[in-house]
């Protein structure tokens, strides 16, 4: 949450910062701000409640010259979205400016003490205490701001990625990180700082990922210097970015979400590339091969994740249990980390996270590490915190996902979980060679089957208009399609703001059935395989109460179709792959309903893509 970008070099900073903020806006978009040191040595801060375009509006006509600057797009934690709570924040003497992503947990104690020392606070944010604390260290210990930064950070409890400027030293910027991501782009006589690579990619592909509790001193015309919080010098490790500019542009689609839905045939192939041997029915995953013994010794698997990744994890449970016969538990990271979970050194904890930065999942990983469990990460963002905090893992390789509502990450996570389950099954001998060949061959057909579903986009868009005025919606599924019901409902509520609930279809009788009347759309995920007859009965129960049925059915199915008011067909597939197909019409349905309601689908209210605070 919150996007950070900074620039120091020979070019004008403002256009680079604004473009960078626009790319980082998915991380938070309730307010935005920029600070620049001008040629005359003045430090100007412009900030506003609203989006980056609102910031641009208030900056119009101002003197925005300067070759050093920092900028921020915010997702509020402490203090409502307002002009004054927006970043950058100043220090008491207005010499220092700071942007921050994360949460300062002991801010209240620090604020009370600093107030007692005569420092004045303008905002309700936790962030402002950091810059005041740095100023306090400078004032009380008579040290430079560079020396004051580690002194101050040693008193801070919580998570931060931050960048600071001092108007008295316009050739320097200081960045620091603990818990929240930050990377430094190294160009020709110029440096960039950002929360992720997207603001940097068109200028340089050389980056340094700042490590935990590291401070970077960035100076014009000098080598990058990195120290830890005790001021011990560290060696910067320059890495090459693999990302391309086209991956972070809309490519002719009106929204990132729609682009990402349509990308799924390609992204699914990318998740499988180089990993399948169809003739042998085998899967090659280095994360599994290199840790074979450890994984085979596991008595159980514990999956930790949040949001959509948790839904993928639930499908992972079904996959791993079916294919390996090992028990799997699926945990919300936020619950797991605080409830003293029972963990054994023989456990394998699988952390699933698109961003690799979700604070609760990262904390769950750290907890599992302390318990001695083996840690396996399924992440999309290469080099992300969770990818680095786990013992091994598997990237989903789908390129950046920018739409706040996760789509292509979900199908890639399910695919990756299948690959892990099948490679374990091969090692354990729990699935015959012939069956593995069947499954791998079918998996290879899935991208084409998704393309076929996507051809019905217009039909789904037409149906979406009917539901623009729905106030509630129920999603039902069984077996592998129960997590799809949860995910379909999540997609609808997060972008259309229509209340939606996902339920295991049979559980409907234990409560939700009371809600059903002729006003209530009920989406039933009812493909042909697995529990088909049972779900048919559930549909009858809804019909008997005049509920309106929208079904996701296997091509050619006449029975569920006859009972439904509307149906979307998906090609037939193995039961374990049904979720990858059945979620596609539900992603499109949510998208088109949200569009029909005039919602901002890529940046829905109150949400953020990367939840780096707990
Ligand atoms: C946020 C995002 C969701 C995502 C969840 C977990 O809520 O809006 O799309 O599923 O975080 O994120 P992760 O990056 O850990 O998969």
How deeply is 594 buried, as exposed, middle or buried, from its count of CB atoms within 10 A (0-12, 13-18, 19+)?
A: buried
- The CA-CA-CA angle for residues 489, 23, 406, to 5°, reads 15
How deeply is 224 buried, as exposed, middle or buried, from its count of CB atoms within 10 A (0-12, 13-18, 19+)?
A: middle
- The pLDDT value given to residue 232: 95
Among protein residues, the one with the nearest Cα to ligand 1's atom 5 is: 307
- The pLDDT value given to residue 169: 96
- The pLDDT value given to residue 288: 93
Query: How far, in Å, is the centroid of ligand 1 from the Cα of 309?
Result: 7
Pick the atom of ligand 1 nearest to 386's CA. Answer: 15
Residue pointed to by tokens 């750290």:
366
**Contact predicate 66/173, CB 8 Å:** no
> How far, in Å, CA of 292 to CA of 106, rounded?
43
Report pLDDT digits (tens) over 392-422: 999 999 999 999 999 999 999 999 999 999 9
Chain centroid to CA 364: 16
DSSP letter at 453 equals H
146-152 long-range contacts, Cβ below 8 Å, gap at least 24? 146/172, 146/174, 146/217, 149/174, 149/176, 149/215, 150/215, 150/227, 150/229, 150/230, 150/231
Among protein residues, the one with the nearest Cα to ligand 1's atom 8 is: 609
For 211, the token pair is 């490590």
Query: How far, in Å, is the centroid of ligand 1 from the Cα of 526?
Result: 27
Pick the atom of ligand 1 nearest to 404's CA. Answer: 8
**Contact predicate 148/141, CB 8 Å:** yes
Q: DSSP for 212-263?
A: TTEEEEEETTS--EEEETT--EE---EEE----GGGGS-TT-SSHHHHHHHT
Among protein residues, the one with the nearest Cα to ligand 1's atom 13 is: 353
Q: Which residues pair with 570 in a beta bridge?
A: 554
**Contact predicate 397/273, CB 8 Å:** yes
The 3-state DSSP class for residue 474 equals: strand
**Contact predicate 549/542, CB 8 Å:** yes
Query: How far, in Å, is the centroid of ligand 1 from the Cα of 521?
Result: 26
- The pLDDT value given to residue 306: 97
Query: How far, in Å, is the centroid of ligand 1 from the Cα of 63?
Result: 38
From 26, 75, 306, mutation site for ligand 1 pocket: most ligand atoms within 8 A of C-beta: 306
- The pLDDT value given to residue 440: 97
The 3-state DSSP class for residue 345 equals: coil
From 195, 307, 398, mutation site for ligand 1 pocket: most ligand atoms within 8 A of C-beta: 307
DSSP letter at 513 equals G
* Cβ of 609 less than 6 Å from ligand 1: yes
* Cβ of 195 less than 6 Å from ligand 1: no
> How far, in Å, CA of 406 to CA of 490, rounded?
10
- The pLDDT value given to residue 614: 72
b (16+ CB within 10 A) / e for 43-73: bbbbbbbbbbeebbebbeeeebebbbbbbbb
**Contact predicate 203/23, CB 8 Å:** no
From 398, 609, 613, mutation site for ligand 1 pocket: most ligand atoms within 8 A of C-beta: 609
Low-confidence ranges of the chain (pLDDT < 50): none
**Contact predicate 77/28, CB 8 Å:** no
Q: What do you get for the CA distance between the two ends of the chain, in Å?
A: 10
> How far, in Å, CA of 289 to CA of 219, rounded?
44
* Cβ of 354 less than 6 Å from ligand 1: yes
* Cβ of 204 less than 6 Å from ligand 1: no
> How far, in Å, CA of 510 to CA of 499, rounded?
19
* Cβ of 355 less than 6 Å from ligand 1: yes
- The CA-CA-CA angle for residues 556, 560, 562, to 5°, reads 90
* Cβ of 308 less than 6 Å from ligand 1: yes
* Cβ of 483 less than 6 Å from ligand 1: no
395-400 long-range contacts, Cβ below 8 Å, gap at least 24? 396/267, 396/271, 396/354, 397/267, 397/270, 397/271, 397/273, 398/263, 398/267, 398/270, 398/271, 399/243, 399/247, 399/263, 399/267, 399/270, 400/196, 400/198, 400/243, 400/247, 400/248
Is the N-terminal amide bond of 88 cis, ω within 30° of 0?
yes
Residues in the chain: 614
> How far, in Å, CA of 296 to CA of 292, rounded?
6
Predicted TM-score of the model (pTM): 0.85
Report pLDDT digits (tens) over 269-289: 999 988 999 888 999 999 999
């Amino acid at each position: 949450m919150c996007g950070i970008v900074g620039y120091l070099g020979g070019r004008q900073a403002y256009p680079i910062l604004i473009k960078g903020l626009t790319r980082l806006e998915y991380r938070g978009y309730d307010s935005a701000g920029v600070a620049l040191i001008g040629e005359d040595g003045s430090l100007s801060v412009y900030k506003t409640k609203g989006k980056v375009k609102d910031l641009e509006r208030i900056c119009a006509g101002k003197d925005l010259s300067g070759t050093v600057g920092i900028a921020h797009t915010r997702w509020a934690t402490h203090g409502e979205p307002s002009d004054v709570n927006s970043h950058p924040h100043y220090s008491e003497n207005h010499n220092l400016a700071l942007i921050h992503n994360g949460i300062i947990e002991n801010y209240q104690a620090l604020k009370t003490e600093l107030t007692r020392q005569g420092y004045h606070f303008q905002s309700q944010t936790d962030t402002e205490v950091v810059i005041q604390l740095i100023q306090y260290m400078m004032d009380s210990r008579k040290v430079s701001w560079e020396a004051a930064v580690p002194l101050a950070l040693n008193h801070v409890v919580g998570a931060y990625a931050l960048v600071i400027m001092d108007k008295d030293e316009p050739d320097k910027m200081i960045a620091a990180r603990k818990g929240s991501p930050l990377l430094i782009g190294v160009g020709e006589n110029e440096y960039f700082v950002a929360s992720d690579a997207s603001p940097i990619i068109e200028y340089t592909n050389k980056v340094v990922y700042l490590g935990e509790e590291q401070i970077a001193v960035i100076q014009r015309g000098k080598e990058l210097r990195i120290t830890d919080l005790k001021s011990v010098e560290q060696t910067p490790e320059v890495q090459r970015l693999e990302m391309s500019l086209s991956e972070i542009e809309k490519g002719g689609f009106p929204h990132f979400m729609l682009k990402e839905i349509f990308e799924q045939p390609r992204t699914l192939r990318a998740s499988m590339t180089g990993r399948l041997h169809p003739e042998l029915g085998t899967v090659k995953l280095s994360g599994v091969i290199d840790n074979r013994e450890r994984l085979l010794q596991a008595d159980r698997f514990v999956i930790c994740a949040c949001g959509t990744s948790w839904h993928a994890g639930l499908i992972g449970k079904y996959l791993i249990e079916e294919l390996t016969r090992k028990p799997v538990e699926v945990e919300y990271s936020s619950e797991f980390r605080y409830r003293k979970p029972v963990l054994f050194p023989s456990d394998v904890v699988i952390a699933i996270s698109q961003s690799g930065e979700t604070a609760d999942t990262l904390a769950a990983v750290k907890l599992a590490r302390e318990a001695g469990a083996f840690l396996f990460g399924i992440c999309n963002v290469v080099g992300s915190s969770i990818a680095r905090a786990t013992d091994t893992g598997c990237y989903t390789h789908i390129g950046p996902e920018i739409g706040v509502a996760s789509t292509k990450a979900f199908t890639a996570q399910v695919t990756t979980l299948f690959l892990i389950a099948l490679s374990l099954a091969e090692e354990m001998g729990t699935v015959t060679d012939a069956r593995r060949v069947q499954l791998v061959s079918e998996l290879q057909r899935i991208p084409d089957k998704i393309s076929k579903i996507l051809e019905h986009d217009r039909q789904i868009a037409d149906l979406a208009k009917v539901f623009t005025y729905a106030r509630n919606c129920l999603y039902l599924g069984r077996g592998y399609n129960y997590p799809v019901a949860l995910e379909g409902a999540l997609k609808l509520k997060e972008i259309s703001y229509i209340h939606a609930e996902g339920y295991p279809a049979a559980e409907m009788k234990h409560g939700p059935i009371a809600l059903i009347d002729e006003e209530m759309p009920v989406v039933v995920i009812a493909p042909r395989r697995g529990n088909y007859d049972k779900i048919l009965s559930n549909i009858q129960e809804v019909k008997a109460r005049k509920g309106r049925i929208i079904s996701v059915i296997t091509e050619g199915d006449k029975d569920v179709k006859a009972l439904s008011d509307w149906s979307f067909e998906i090609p037939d597939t193995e039961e374990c792959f049904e979720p990858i197909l059945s979620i596609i019409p539900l992603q499109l349905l949510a998208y088109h309903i949200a569009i029909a309601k005039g919602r901002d689908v890529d940046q829905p209210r109150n949400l953020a893509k990367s939840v780096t605070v707990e």
